[in-house]
Amino acid sequence: MKKNDLLKALFIMVLTVIISVGAMFLLNLHTGPLIEQNNQGAELAPLKAVMPDAEGFEAIYDSENPSASSLKDVDAAVLKIYKETSGKGFVFRVSAVSQYTKGSTEYTVGVTSDGKITKVQNDVYSESQALVPGFLDSFTGKDSALPGVEVTGGTTYSSKALKEAVESGLNALINNDLIKAGVKSDAQILTELIPTVFPGITSDGALKADAVTPSGNIESGYIGQNGAGCAFIMKQGDESFLAVCNNLNVCKVYNKEGADVTAEHTDLVTEALTAAATNAQTYYNKAVTKFTKMMTGATNFVSIDIEVFDTVVAAVEFEVESVKYYGFYSKSFGFEIMDVYYVLDSEGKIVKMTADTFIFHEEYFAGFGGMPSGYTQGFVGNDSTSFDENTAIIAGATMTSNAMKQSTKDIFAAFEKAAVGGAE
């Protein structure tokens, strides 16, 4: 290799680099701002979508670096908060984790400076499909009280997760005095009380119920999708009350502070029980039919009044050859709603147990190895003290197993209440 060639090559290479860098510098004068604009546009596009009249956005909170923000008391579900630069409001991004899928989805929410939601949006089509139809739109125009944004039926897990995530974002703004809190109506407060006082018609804290037609003092109401009872928002004078009725002829009335005021409102109790009677009768009839098949010679069926607000939809006592038995029919929320029937003897021990269907849509359970042999027999002979929750486990069917545990716990609780209340 000639030294001259090496120097020549080096010179050309250096010159090439200098020219390239120079060209890039000149080109960057033109393309740099456009690229910056494009990058910002990609990040800001979802923000613009929920607040189209926004002039610009300034990030005021980032969950990846919360200490850099002056905002305090921001829930972990809140990923980023932006302030609209001309004072129109705020946009936040939140992550909602569905109790059912365990997957998280990001949503973008726009809020005006007076605390009204402009729009809630997600960009993942499959997750939108998992929501109750029209649920995203139900947020538009609402304040932090979220009136009318109800998670009551259909695919509630994703919807509940979204509602909670939106509430987290709104609370972050309220906690930092960026917007004012909305005021909840009495009906809202009472509706939110339902999961506490009637857990039997909820699943993972979400009310699983369908709306009922208002009548008389009943302003609005719900009937549990599992049929375990009804919840009514009732108005008397200027005051609103929540009346919850199980199918076991018991009704409780609560005021908006959550206090039990049943004794002072017996007229509401009567009205609520009348409204709930058809539902109660339906499950009583089903229970009688089923227990007649389960226990040959069963006769003298009598329904039992029990003050429980769980998944028990019917409770009866009956006789077989002069021996008294108790039949409990529970409908709990598993992969689908499960119809489970138990017959207990007078000591509270399970004599028989069965379900209409244990495993729904078997093909969806990759780890399902079939029903364990003698599964129902495993329950027999157990009472509330000897029952081991592991008895209810079906490998590969977690939701069904949990539903079976719930039903079994609930019927034992109902039996104990019935015994205390003088079912004998």
Partner 1 sequence: MKNLKNYLLRGTPSLLLPIGAGFVMASSSDIRAALGMGFAVLVVTLLSSIVVCLIKKFTPEKFHLPIHVLIVTGFVSLVDMLMQAYVPNVVTMLGVHLAALAVSAVPYRETIEVAEVSGMKKTVISALITGLFFTVIMVACALIREVLGNGSSFGLEIAFLANYKISALAGAFGGYLVLAIVLAIIRAIGEKFVDKEEN
H/E stretch holding 127 reads helix 125-130
Q: Least distance to partner 1 from the beta carbon of 189, Å?
A: 46
CA distance linking residue 141 with residue 149, whole number of Å = 11
* Closer residue to partner 1, CB minimum distance, 39 or 299: 39
Q: Least distance to partner 1 from the beta carbon of 25, Å?
A: 11
* Closer residue to partner 1, CB minimum distance, 7 or 302: 7
What phi-psi label fits residue 73: left (phi over 0), alpha (psi between -120 and 50 degrees) or beta?
Answer: left
**Chain positions contacting partner 1, by CB under 8 A:** 1-2, 5-6, 8-9, 12-13, 16-17, 19-20, 23-24, 27-28, 30-31, 34-35, 38-39, 42
* Closer residue to partner 1, CB minimum distance, 123 or 389: 123
Q: Least distance to partner 1 from the beta carbon of 123, Å?
A: 15
| Torsion sign across C-alpha atoms 105, 180, 235, 254 | positive
Q: Least distance to partner 1 from the beta carbon of 52, Å?
A: 21
Q: Least distance to partner 1 from the beta carbon of 24, Å?
A: 6
* Closer residue to partner 1, CB minimum distance, 38 or 299: 38
CA distance linking residue 169 with residue 110, whole number of Å = 10
Nearest to 372 by CA among 354, 391, 357: 391
Q: Least distance to partner 1 from the beta carbon of 125, Å?
A: 12
Residues in contact with 208: Cβ distance below 8 Å, sequence separation at least 6, in sequence order? 152, 153, 156, 201, 202, 224, 225, 226, 333
Nearest to 409 by CA among 391, 396, 397: 391
SS3 content of the chain, % helix, strand, coil (to 5): 40, 25, 35
